[in-house]
Amino acid sequence: MKGYIQVYTGNGKGKTTASIGLALRAAGAGLSVYIAQFLKKGDYSEIKALSRFENITVEQYGLGKFVKGSPSDEDRAAGAAGYQKLCEILSQNTHDVVIAEEGNVAVMCNIITEQALLALMDMKPDNIELIITGRGATPKVIERADLVTEMKEIKHYYHQGVTARVGIEK
């Protein structure tokens, strides 16, 4: 089956959950899924749930801290490791669906370069479905993708002071 490049971006809620939903659907069809999460660290509930599936692998490449200003050496090293792993997964062509979770945010925070993310898109074997999530997709990433959905924030309780809740946002 031919694979395409999908991007879920924008300020509204649903980017990560869209990619998790896709992973679930793919796993149900017997496809194998690899997810690299940039920036994140710790037991997000989706990771606990997805670990029940033998054909979904999730790995985290982040410190789990908000990156303010320029990233630390540790931030960069974690991002580089995730990027390296994604390169391996794509070049070895071992999975059907590959998800670079918060890949756009990694670029925005200077954890990986835009050039690196574009290179990942270019090296994708024809059969792999590549998904990149995160707010702030750059114009070049958008141009190179086959499918781009912008989650548009109409309202978000974040502005009422409701931070991420276990089971709903994390």
Q: Measured from the CB of residue 60, what is the shortest distance to Mg ion in angstroms?
A: 13
Contacts (CB under 5 A) with Mg ion, residues 6-25 = 15-16
Closer by beta carbon to Mg ion, 6 or else 16: 16
Closer by beta carbon to Mg ion, 15 or else 95: 15
Closer by beta carbon to ligand ATP, 13 or else 76: 13
Q: Which positions lie near ligand ATP, rule CB under 6 A?
A: 11, 13-17, 135, 151, 156, 158, 163-164, 169
Amino acid in the structure at residue 11: N
Q: Measured from the CB of residue 117, what is the shortest distance to ligand ATP in angstroms?
A: 17
| Interatomic CA distance for residues 152 and 161, integer angstroms | 19
Q: Measured from the CB of residue 118, what is the shortest distance to Mg ion in angstroms?
A: 21
Sole residue written with tokens 């390169």: 87
Q: Which does 3 bind (CB under 5 to 8 A by kind): Mg ion, ligand ATP, none?
A: none
Q: Which does 150 bind (CB under 5 to 8 A by kind): Mg ion, ligand ATP, none?
A: none
The size of the interface with Mg ion (CB under 5 A), counted in residues, is 2
37 binds Mg ion (CB under 5 A): no
Q: Measured from the CB of residue 150, what is the shortest distance to Mg ion in angstroms?
A: 14
Q: Measured from the CB of residue 109, what is the shortest distance to ligand ATP in angstroms?
A: 13
Contact residues for 38 (Cβ-Cβ < 8 A; gap 6+) = 61, 62, 79, 82, 100, 101, 102, 103, 105, 106, 111, 112, 134
* Torsion sign, CA atoms 107, 112, 113, 114: negative
Task: List the 147-150 sheet strands across, edge first.
Answer: 56-61, 33-38, 97-101, 129-133, 5-9, 147-150
Q: Cβ distance 37 to 62 under 8 Å?
A: yes
Q: Cβ distance 99 to 34 under 8 Å?
A: yes
Q: Which does 17 bind (CB under 5 to 8 A by kind): Mg ion, ligand ATP, none?
A: ligand ATP
Amino acid in the structure at residue 104: N
